Amino acid sequence: MLALTRLSQNPLFVCRGDPHLPVHTRQWFEQPGRNDGESEVWCYTDRLSYATGETVFVHAISSIASIRVRVYSQNLVPRCLLDLKTTARWAHTPDDASVNGCHWPQVAEFSLSEDWPCGVYRVCVQADKQTRADHLIVVRPGESADKTQRLLLITSDCTWAAYNDWGGSNHYEGIIDPHYNRFSAKLSSQRPFALGFIDLPQDAPRTLPQQPPVDGEIIYPHMEWAWQQGYSKKYASAGWASYERVFCHWAELQGYHCDIATQQDLHYRPEILRGYRCVVFVGHDEYWSWQMRDAIDDYIEQGGHVARFAGNFMWQIRLEEQGQSQICHKYCAQTDDPLMNRSNQHLVTTAWEADFINRPSHQTFGLNALKGLYAGWGGLAANGPGGFTLYRPEHWAFAGCKLGYGDILGARSRIFGYEVDGLDYRVEAGLPYPEPCAGLPDDLEILALGLARLREDNFDSPSSGLFVGDDDAIYAARILQGDSSEQNLQRVNRGSGMVVHFRKGRGEVFHAGTTEWVAGLLRQDNAVEQVTRNVLNHFLNN
């Protein structure tokens, strides 16, 4: 088994393998008991989503017996709704905690009374002035007389789970197998969130560098920053702090009323969508269950509106153990998923485009991740324009933007990337049109687009390895083209990211297929803000 060495910038982190390798090739993660007797505290809650009147159970371990539990709203001006003192103790953390849960003792419980409005709350467990652990809970919407002028934001909590590397394993890397180098198909929610998922400094870099690289240099500034500051390697890929919080704070400043629900709510209680005219998705929203798609498809067909300022809609998952376990076999599904070759193999956890699933992503949101995927970072179109080229500026979504045909939306704020969704398309008389395919909405319009790719170039630079490489391209070629011949690899490498609009049943969808749309809101890009307002206002009032 490979050695684990302490990460000097944060003594609670460990690093797998050689710490002298390029930063983006290293794996580091939080693990309890690494601080040589110094103060430590860690926590999680029994669930993520709660209704008013339910009880929240807090599980924690602490090297200091006396702790304080506080809960804060996550509005622009946080409000403390709970402050209690209790005791905790240190307890063993299983080696497979990231896969099967921590099983820590319960240290506190509290009920959610009527004065807890729908929203996101930070649970803060404090051991001493320097030692604190944070977690998140969501108080979901209750019954209301009128939800028609309220937005419903669905958090990307399944993507949070997929990237959460606390304890060493996620859907990308892992420490459970003997070689410490295989992702875990199963992940537990009964563990903390990795550092950076809940809160971040204002100067934390996003995935896309604000300036293109110099002389073809391949860099990943957010990973360099995470290593230097002692944050999770995956902090910029997923989490409340990088994505949903940005949108919620912007919406609050703009005067929108925004309710919050989780993807688990979509899965287990789809009726939560009732009464809302506009449902919003933002950021990196990659992992969904079959039941979640059913809920949104039904909502749209019945007249609902979806504003999707998000990208990378790619993987099917399954939820097990009442949502405490998330399953995704990804690239290994055909050999490892136990549902393969069974009557319910449509629930196998791999890309939606797999022929044995036969539910391509565009049937729900109009775009496919595998027709994207990467742009703006590393060796992946890093010198691109940073935004979407407009082709149909006369569309109502662009009213008041002062942009015309060929202008770039979001270039200054770098909204195009780091993962985008697209389609095969053709150009006629200077306008893009989607190539026909089964299940594509009939009236889908491509409003703007940019170029993306699946294979990463190193441009003959010997100084660093690649982060993405061509593994995704090989997988996409097999799924979309049948094999990974060089011709097919080149074909899938020519991807796109798009802004599209279409109607479906009695409803409508606006999809800006990029994970970084919220960067335009964060950086106060006037045109990006205007498009966002246009879409929300159109959907709330129609």
Q: What is the DSSP letter of 472?
A: H
Alpha-carbon distances of 502 from 16, 22, 298, 435, 492, rounded to whole Å: 46, 44, 15, 15, 25
Whether 104 maps to a domain, the answer reads yes
Could you give the strand order of the β-sheet that contains 388-390, starting from the edge strand earlier in sequence? 257-261, 150-154, 278-284, 305-311, 507-512, 495-504, 445-452, 388-390, 408-409
**What is the rounded CA–CA span in Å between residue 59 and residue 48?**
13
pLDDT value of position 130? 87
pLDDT value of position 12? 74
pTM of the model: 0.96
> CATH no. for residue 55?
2.60.40.1930
Whether 128 maps to a domain, the answer reads yes
Number of structural domains in the chain: 1
β-partners of residue 29 are: 14
pLDDT value of position 218? 74
**Amino acid at site 237:** S
**What is the rounded CA–CA span in Å between residue 17 and residue 498?**
39
Which residues span the domain enclosing 124? 41-145
pLDDT value of position 464? 58
Which residue has tokens 């537990």? 188
pLDDT value of position 462? 53
Whether 119 maps to a domain, the answer reads yes
Whether 27 maps to a domain, the answer reads no
Whether 429 maps to a domain, the answer reads no
Which residue has tokens 């909405």? 441
Whether 14 maps to a domain, the answer reads no
3-state secondary structure 286-351: CEEEHHHHHHHHHHHHCCCEEEEEEECCCEEEEEECCCCEEECCHHHHHHHCCCCCCCCHHHCCCE
Whether 125 maps to a domain, the answer reads yes
CA 136 to chain centre: 15
**What is the rounded CA–CA span in Å between residue 26 and residue 18?**
8
- Over the chain (542 residues), the average pLDDT of each successive run of 10 is 45 74 87 79 98 97 96 97 97 96 98 95 94 97 88 98 97 85 94 97 93 76 92 97 98 98 98 97 98 98 98 98 97 97 97 96 98 93 95 98 98 97 98 96 97 86 72 94 94 97 98 98 98 98 92
Token couple for 185: 């198909």
Residues near 211 by beta carbon (within 8 Å), at least 6 away in sequence: none
